[in-house]
A and B are shown apart, each in its own frame.
Chain A
Amino acid sequence: MIRFEPREHVSPLRRIAAPVIAAVAALAVASLAIAAAGAPVLEAYGLMAKGAFGSAFAMSELLARATPLIFTGLAAAVAFRAKLWNIGGEGQLYAGALAAVAVGTGALALPGPLLIPTVILAGALAGGLLMLIPALLKVRLGADEVVTTLLLNFVVILFVQMMLEGPMKDPMGMGWPQSEPMLDEAMLPKLMDRMRVHAGLILALVAALGVHIVLKRTVWGFETRAVGENPEAARHAGIPVTATFLRVALLSGGLAGLAGVGEVAGLKGYLTADLSPGFGYAGIVVAMLAGLSPVGVVVAALFIAGIFVGADSMSRAIGVSNYLADLVVATSLICVLVSGLFVRFKVRFVRVGTGKGAA
């Protein structure tokens, strides 16, 4: 049978090796899928690399795609640290986007320097408050937050559809269910001429740094980790467990909400109900690849964004379905779980019944 012995010291190299091995393993599994589709594997990977990194345009697309993934990755990382299973990043992203268009399309007459912060704040608040519902249901009524956050995703997207076909529908939208366009003054500036990468990326990097500092250097961060490791022990140590959960919920939902703000105020300029191709769920993979480290989230988001952008470009060139990207993302989540095991534990295969190896 297999036995796991916890390592006393996990070297930084080993820590970094886990996601790297997982990424390589996921790409290896995906190459089977490419081969099964009858496409040349090496050429497909070459095209993916070129599509993700091969030009200034590719890099801009990569960074634009990484921006929401950093936010949703941070959202998952913060929550999972406290063992608050927020799987509702997708819904919180839409809530943030909805709030951004609610204040950014002309309802508020503020000058630009005030309008942009208002839009950002509104989006973060909407995401945070949305996550507060399942968190309160958890701490007050004991309802499992995994199921409630998952189910709320569907409710929120339907709510967005309702608003886009009703009160928030763009009268000039040729009948399409989309919001009015954001005011020019409410849009996040572009970082490069004629490229899509926008200031949301800066905001995401600042958020990653901020979360890093909060988790590592503040009492809040200490309480978050303590609650995640053992809520009962934390309670005995006098840590306000419920308040910590609610704080983490607000922060996590707020970060996911910012992903939505970036997508409408940085990229699209208006809201549609197909704004996110699953950024909320991909954020979970980003967080796990990052080992729940905020700085790692940035790196992992770049990897996942590269897979998505590269697969899109490769799919256009040789016709392999771009669902390949989702397959790589899913496989890398499973692989990082397994490789993480080898980081934290020595895995021993021992024979049963010899009496040897008993601890």
Chain B
Amino acid sequence: MSDILDILLAANFWAAALRIATPLIFGVLGALLCERAGVLNLGIEGIFTAGAMAGWMAAWLGAGLWGGVMVAALAGAAFGLLHAILTVPLGLSQHVSGIGVTLFATSLSYYTYRTALPDVSSPPRIEAFQPLDIPVLSDLPFLGPALFQQTALTFLALALVVAVGFVLYRTPLGLAIRAVGDNPSAVEAQGLSVMALRIGTVVAGSALMALGGAFLTMSAFDAFFFGMVNGRGWICIALTVFASWRPGKALIGALLFGAFDAFQVRLQTEVGSFVPGQVFLMLPYILSIAALVVVARKADYPRALLKPYFKGQR
């Protein structure tokens, strides 16, 4: 028991939780934006991979870290545009199109990586984002190491929670985005373009997803590996339902998930000799399924989610 308390009371535990949560915060924000506009984006897993690869490669080629982040966002936006065109004006199945975008973005990332670096066994490393040293705050006891020794991308993720929340609930644009996922014909009656709103939101949401991928190669690690996204995109889709499509709850969901994951890693070192490591590695996926199942019955899906809309239709 005291071991568990020791884990939970250590500052580095909470620092790890926030670090694990960061890519999920980006991913869930992106997914909830797309779904709020009525488009399920299962391209997320591939967009994560593309963001991870593109951001890292741009930085490795000398674009600088923030240049890499920009490139990652642009790559995500491009794949988002592909998904948006397939599902909004063409009205194709969002499920199948999303899987297609994931397969396409993943294979294109892997092919590009292998073509650029045909013979390397271990990937070249970049100078990744370092934890910021914020005067005063970073030196606070407990809170300093737990909250204020993260990299700039974690703070960007936290800022985006506020920004996405503000846009969705405090601006006319946000009202239009929410309406377009609930009742598109009402939006059209206002003289707004359902198509433009949906495409724009999916593109923006996909750019956010790609930042989650970029965090993996440019902050959590400093190189690109095959299979490194490892289902994080799918976990984000489950967390989006868990978060009821709200940015604030998305942050809480991602943090809970991060805390649980950090906890199981530490528990593993305590009881690892009795329980096979795979059991611990399974937990995040099982937890995501459980999170989805718990809220599934009362989940208030955007009413026009998955439903294509054509102009003039009621």
Residues of A within 8 A of B (CB): 1-4, 33, 36-37, 80, 85, 87, 137, 141-144, 146-148, 150-155, 158-159, 161-162, 165-166, 281, 284-285, 288, 319-321, 323-324, 326-327, 329-331, 333-334, 337-338, 341, 352, 358
| Interface status of B89 (Cβ within 8 A of chain A) | yes
The 6 closest A-B pairs by CB, nearest first: A330-B103, A326-B107, A321-B114, A162-B278, A330-B104, A323-B111
Q: Is the interface of A mostly helix, strand, loop or mixed?
A: helix
Interface centre among B101, B115, B311 (most CB of A within 10 A): B115
Chain B residues with CB under 8 A of A37: 115
B7 proximal to A (CB < 8 A): no
Cross-chain contact A151 with B296 (CB below 8 angstroms): no
Enumerate 14 A-B pairs (CB-CB under 8 Å) in ascending A order: A2-B89, A33-B115, A37-B115, A146-B95, A147-B234, A150-B234, A151-B288, A284-B96, A326-B111, A329-B107, A330-B100, A330-B104, A334-B82, A334-B86
Q: Is the interface of B mostly helix, strand, loop or mixed?
A: helix
- Note all chain A residues with C-beta closer than 8 A to B108: 33, 327, 330
- Asked whether B231 is an interface residue with its Cβ less than 8 Å from the other chain, the reply is yes
Q: A327-B107, A337-B96 are in contact. Are A158 and B237 (CB under 8 A)?
A: no
A166 to B107, CA, bound (A): 33
Contact indicator B231/A333 (Cβ below 8 Å):
no
Contact B115 A329 (CB under 8 A): no
Let me know if B96 and A142 touch, CB within 8 A.
Answer: no
Residues of A within 8 A of B192 (CB): none
The closest CB in chain B to the CB of A340 belongs to: B92
Q: Does B241 lie at the interface of the complex (its beta carbon under 8 Å from any beta carbon of A)?
A: yes
- Selected from A1, A319, A326, the residue in CB contact (under 8 A) with B106 is A326
Residues on A with C-beta less than 8 A from B234 are 147, 150-151
**In the assembled complex, which residues on chain A have CB atoms less than 8 Å from the CB atom of B42?**
146
* Cβ–Cβ < 8 Å partners of A162 in chain B: 276, 278-279
Alpha-carbon distance between A80 and B99 when the two chains are bound, in angstroms: 13
B residues within 8 A CB of A146? 42, 95, 237
Q: How far is the CB of B238 from chain A (nearest CB, A)?
A: 5
Of chain B, the residue at the smallest CB distance from A326 is: B107
A143 touches B296 (CB 8 A): yes
In the bound assembly, the distance between CA atoms of A36 and B311 in angstroms comes to: 40
Cβ-based interface call for B141 (8 A): no
Using A155-B285, A161-B278 as known contacts, say yes or no to A337 and B100 having CB atoms under 8 A apart.
yes
Taking a contact as CB atoms under 8 Å apart, the answer to whether B99 and A337 are in contact is: no
Q: Which of A165, A319, A323 contacts B107 (CB 8 A)?
A: A323
**Contact partner, B297, options A36, A142, A147, A324, Cβ 8 Å:** A142
**Chain B window 148-168, contacts with chain A (Cβ cutoff 8 Å), 1 for yes, 0 for no:** 000000000000000000000
In the complex the two chains form, what is the Cα distance from A331 to B100 in whole Å? 8
Contact of B90 among A324, A338, A358 (CB under 8 A): A338
What are the residues of chain B within 8 A of A80 when measuring CB–CB? 96
Of all chain A residues, which has the CB nearest B301? A144
Q: Is B97 an interface residue (CB 8 A)?
A: yes
Q: How far is the CA of A87 from the CA of B234 in the complex (A)?
A: 12
Contact at B96–A288, with CB atoms within 8 Å?
yes
B52 at the interface (CB under 8 A from A): no
**B window 88-127: CB within 8 A of A:** 89-93, 95-97, 99-101, 103-104, 106-108, 110-111, 114-115, 118
B282 to chain A, nearest CB (A): 5
- Contacts of B272-289 to chain A: CB distance below 8 A: 276, 278-279, 281-282, 285-286, 288-289
* B36 CB to nearest A CB, Å: 16
Question: Which residues of chain B have C-beta atoms less than 8 A from A137's C-beta?
Answer: 289, 293, 296
What's the nearest-Cβ distance from chain B to residue A17, in Å?
Answer: 18
Q: How far is the CB of B154 from chain A (nearest CB, A)?
A: 25
- CB–CB B111/A337 < 8 A: no
Question: What is the bound-complex CA distance between A202 and B93, given in angstroms?
Answer: 33
Given A150-B231, A333-B99, A158:B110 Cβ within 8 A: no
Known: A37-B115, A330-B104. A158 touches B238 (CB 8 A): no
List, in ascending order, chain B residues with CB within 8 A of A165's CB: 276, 278
- Across the interface, name the chain A residue whose C-beta is closest to B85: A338
Residue among A33, A151, A358 with most chain B CB within 10 A: A151
B289 touches A323 (CB 8 A): no
Which of A147, A285, A329 touches B238 (beta carbons < 8 Å)? A147
With A144-B241, A144-B296, A147-B237: A152-B100 Cβ-Cβ less than 8 Å? no
Contact of B293 among A4, A143, A281 (CB under 8 A): A143
CA distance A326 to B10 in the complex (A): 44
B191 within 8 A of partner (CB):
no
Is residue B254 contacting chain A, with contact meaning CB distance below 8 A? Answer: no
299-314 of chain B: CB within 8 A of chain A? 299, 310-312
Bound Cα distance A249, B296 (Å): 20
B179 within 8 A of A: no
For A1, what are the chain B residues with a Cβ–Cβ distance below 8 Å?
311
Asked if B111 and A151 sit within 8 Å, CB to CB, the answer is no
Partner of B285 from A36, A151, A324 at Cβ < 8 Å: A151
Are B231 and A319 in contact, with the CB atoms below 8 A? Answer: no
